[in-house]
Structure 1
């Protein structure tokens, strides 16, 4: 293409001139035909074959210059200043390469303040994929959008209803939805107050605390002033009582009164040790519904003491043990298609392996190969399907655990063949070096480690004598550990994850048996509490959180609208 561009710049062999506001652009027809159906039709169908001069209206010379340069070079500079005019012109002239470049730019720049504008824009200038992404961004960041976006106040009533009725609306508390409605109404109270009953019908009142339902909703000035709101509240409350007295299936939500929103993040419990053997079962935890869901699984390979991580829409199961051999193999589970496939195996067999994801790489550290506790470490790059050795750790570590924070990998504890370790170290990929950090207060093997709020948390484990319920947090800025409130139960070899600013621990071994109990730590309240138990008692499992799935509902508790009753309520909604 550089040759053609040189000919254009030197005005050689050009067979057409594009004129925009008296600015002339000598071009080669064949080059413009190659990048735009519009120009192909202009040169072959809408004009005489001998025609060489073409006046193009309703576009600026600067934008036409960018379009022509793209036709010759395949690149275009998209900026905040030119994005709108460039997108409109590219859409008009059907230059899909520029349309795609503009879409990439808008996606990268998307924020709570502009996502609604992008949603509107890509609906008018039909780009369905970016329109879908803008809508999902709005759903996932609704709390920020509703509280900070000026565009939110300009939504139509139909658009607002479409948003707040959606199961994918990401709100931790349903009262946020009611607050968003009041903010929207406040822009033009007299004109919009008539919509209060319609909007109130879309709030999932059963998910609001009784106190807020009374003080915040029923006693709200706009709600009290509306005659239509009173019967809606009565019907909603009656439906709530009705639901409490009916014996509905535990796994299904039938009514919008109590149907939780879909969580954008799902926790998966993969494999493990149960009833004296490794298993291949996968369960998903829906945090908003507080329900566990069994995930259909065609993988026949049982696996325990492995690592499971989420990357680019797939779960990778790394290493482990099937009660016969220690694995080198790595399997990839595509969450969209539910298909398993083998990828390149590791260099070493690794049972009791520590696994994490950082900057697009999967790290596999230490473990046990059937003979030795390992110091070695390696990392996998999915784009080239290849494992590469990295610097070995300072200590042999099997049954340790790792996480990543601020561009470094942290590994803590483990077993070296003779003792449970309290030591910890971190890996810097820029220097390919491991550095010992302050030791934990307790030796911990079979612990779990996770990063949250600029700290590394080390949870539970086995100290050589007892299973532990203790928790401690490491601050990289001070290189110190501090105690954190202990779990409700002692456990080792369990699953761990953070969702909605809560730390979840699940399953494990308590010293006498495997457990299916799950508890969570609320960081804000500094306290532990129980949540729904898993369906299967298991230890030696691996846990990861998944997000951004197009088929999120397949990994969530079923939500079905009630068909046989509440017809009047359904008509309003």
Structure 2
């Protein structure tokens, strides 16, 4: 390469170093011109002082700062595996190092010792891909000892995401009490129910009940007992012998029972005990189901969004067309309830199995329902309200997947078509909607324990065709229609204060919008802005209180039902 200026010509050979270093490596292999020998245990490695100083920070500091070793021919190195040192000296000449299951840990330790951060990070990436519930705790400990913070953080996220599987491992049972406490107190554990945290604690204590039972009160204080059902508290927790024989444990049990028996005292309870855990690192694929074409026709189409690559693609279609469809996810299976096929309201229900990539039919609801809300809670599916073609509904049905049957529950206090329905704080919440005459701001919640609906604080804006989701112990609603305006406002409900407050609005008006939580954020999908059906999607970051657009749907124009299937 040549660069000309007025009085000179500068020649630069860009491949000089890539050609020169292999020659230096060959000179070392022949044992020529070497001026230093590194000794570790009973092995010795000859090298060139200038090459080591230029490529390895540890030796740069040693050889350029007038340390005693800077003038020694033989240098003893301690605290590094001989095989790792040899591989990393070779790396200094070639820029290459081979990682495998047998050497990766010694290489990570050696790279940390020699301050080769890029090699250390490559080892960390290698280990991340080999995380397993049976080894992740050990890898986290190893990474922490060697100061590899990125690997520690990745291991902790894995432990949170796969807590149930990790808690069954031998490594978990061999943790210290302090280490178990550090895990079970986390807000970020991904659990279907707090039962899984209680059972994990009891497994750890029972591994050595004699010496570990003294730690149970301390551990049980981090289990969110008020989130357990009254039946589980009575039938499982209260009969546990280690709980019965501890005053502190019985006090915690009584506190949880009071939470259910005396709702008026809930504000007095420590907030973390009643706050559902929410694992922000769990990533799921978002399925958009049914909905409408630009011309308003119903669809059987399904598409799926992968947030890791910000891409929508087609998925397996349902067996029938469904707009204004209810959607819920339970046990990693996606259910589609009722809807409108273009000429009739439907009672049929179908379920998508992501493993088989196929839809199947289950028992039909007892009532035809479009514009229906649906939610999953404690191994049951709930559908609330909707429209049967004649009137808005206040009826509620519950599906038992083990029996493949539907039963009616207590009616809602309002007839709610196009309302929002969501599981939150161990209850089913029904929000907004309309009865054919009025649009509501009211909110009510159903307790599976009492079988009753009770009113909670109303939204600040009346809404039908709204989106609703839960995130970080709060309830969010977005968009909808208030009878005169297509809405872009967003509200957040705090169960501790029983109050709603506005947060950042959507970027566009969205009626018939779907809202889901995923990866610690909210995703508002599709809708209608008063002129057009929408394919656009925007995401809410609660830490920034801001919405931003991501890739639009590829096959839908609003009116979709949406569910998230975790990608474990």
Give the TM-score range, shorter chain: 0.5 to 0.7
| Contact 2:36–2:49 (8 Å) recurs in 1 | no
- How far is 1:263 from its partner? 4.8
- How far is 1:214 from its partner? 2.7
Counterpart CA distance in 1 for 2:160 and 2:254 is 29
- How far is 1:136 from its partner? 2.2
3-state DSSP of counterpart to 1:262: coil
- Within a 5 Å distance, the mapping from 1:133-532 to structure 2 comes to 133-147=154-168, 149-238=169-258, 241-242=261-262, 244-246=263-265, 255-264=271-280, 355-357=303-305, 402-403=314-315, 410-411=316-317, 440=319, 442-444=320-322, 460-473=338-351, 482-487=360-365, 490=368, 523=401, 526=404, 531-532=428-429
1:140-178 per-position Cα deviation (integer Å, ceiling 9, x unaligned) = 21211112x111112221221222222222222223222
Counterpart CA distance in 2 for 1:265 and 1:58 is 36
| Contact 2:161–2:281 (8 Å) recurs in 1 | no
- How far is 1:24 from its partner? 4.9
Say yes or no: does 1:533 pair with 2:430.
yes
Q: Which position in structure 2 is the counterpart of 1:385? A: none
CA separation of 1:451/1:210 partners in 2, compared to 1, >3 Å: closer, same or farther?
Answer: closer
Say yes or no: does 1:546 pair with 2:509.
no
CA separation of 1:226/1:151 partners in 2, compared to 1, >3 Å: closer, same or farther?
Answer: same
Q: Which position in structure 2 is the counterpart of 1:6? A: 22
- Within a 5 Å distance, the mapping from 1:48-197 to structure 2 comes to 53-147=74-168, 149-197=169-217
CA separation of 1:503/1:132 partners in 2, compared to 1, >3 Å: closer, same or farther?
Answer: farther
- How far is 1:31 from its partner? 4.2
3-state DSSP of counterpart to 1:57: coil
1:90-140 per-position Cα deviation (integer Å, ceiling 9, x unaligned) = 111111011101111121111111121122222222222321221222122
| Contact 1:8–1:26 (8 Å) recurs in 2 | no
| Contact 1:357–1:363 (8 Å) recurs in 2 | yes
1:400-436 per-position Cα deviation (integer Å, ceiling 9, x unaligned) = xx53xxxxxx345xxxxxxxxxxxxxxxxxxxxxxxx
RMSD: 4.9
Aligned length: 407
- How far is 1:230 from its partner? 3.5
Structure 2, gaps ≥5 residues long: 1-16, 410-420, 422-427, 433-462, 466-510, 523-538, 544-568
CA separation of 1:458/1:470 partners in 2, compared to 1, >3 Å: closer, same or farther?
Answer: same
3-state DSSP of counterpart to 1:85: helix
- How far is 1:233 from its partner? 3.5
Counterpart CA distance in 2 for 1:14 and 1:512 is 94
| Contact 1:15–1:52 (8 Å) recurs in 2 | no
CA separation of 1:206/1:177 partners in 2, compared to 1, >3 Å: closer, same or farther?
Answer: same
TM-score by length of 2: 0.58
3-state DSSP of counterpart to 1:169: coil
Counterpart CA distance in 2 for 1:99 and 1:59 is 14
CA separation of 1:549/1:27 partners in 2, compared to 1, >3 Å: closer, same or farther?
Answer: farther
CA separation of 1:119/1:454 partners in 2, compared to 1, >3 Å: closer, same or farther?
Answer: closer
- How far is 1:256 from its partner? 3.9
Counterpart CA distance in 2 for 1:56 and 1:517 is 76
CA separation of 1:449/1:255 partners in 2, compared to 1, >3 Å: closer, same or farther?
Answer: closer
Q: Say which is worse superposed, 215-224 or 499-508, in terms of deviation.
A: 499-508
CA separation of 1:120/1:448 partners in 2, compared to 1, >3 Å: closer, same or farther?
Answer: same
Q: Say which is worse superposed, 80-89 or 504-513, in terms of deviation.
A: 504-513
| Contact 1:355–1:362 (8 Å) recurs in 2 | no
Counterpart CA distance in 1 for 2:186 and 2:157 is 11
| Contact 1:449–1:456 (8 Å) recurs in 2 | yes
- How far is 1:451 from its partner? 9.9
Counterpart CA distance in 2 for 1:34 and 1:509 is 74
**1:42 paired residue among 35, 57, 62:** 62
3-state DSSP of counterpart to 2:342: coil
1:22-74 per-position Cα deviation (integer Å, ceiling 9, x unaligned) = 65545444543344321111121125766555443343432122212333343
Counterpart CA distance in 2 for 1:479 and 1:138 is 28
Structure 1, gaps ≥5 residues long: 269-308, 327-350, 365-378, 380-401, 404-409, 413-439, 556-573
| Contact 1:265–1:499 (8 Å) recurs in 2 | no
- How far is 1:456 from its partner? 8.2
CA separation of 1:107/1:95 partners in 2, compared to 1, >3 Å: closer, same or farther?
Answer: same
Counterpart CA distance in 1 for 2:382 and 2:45 is 63
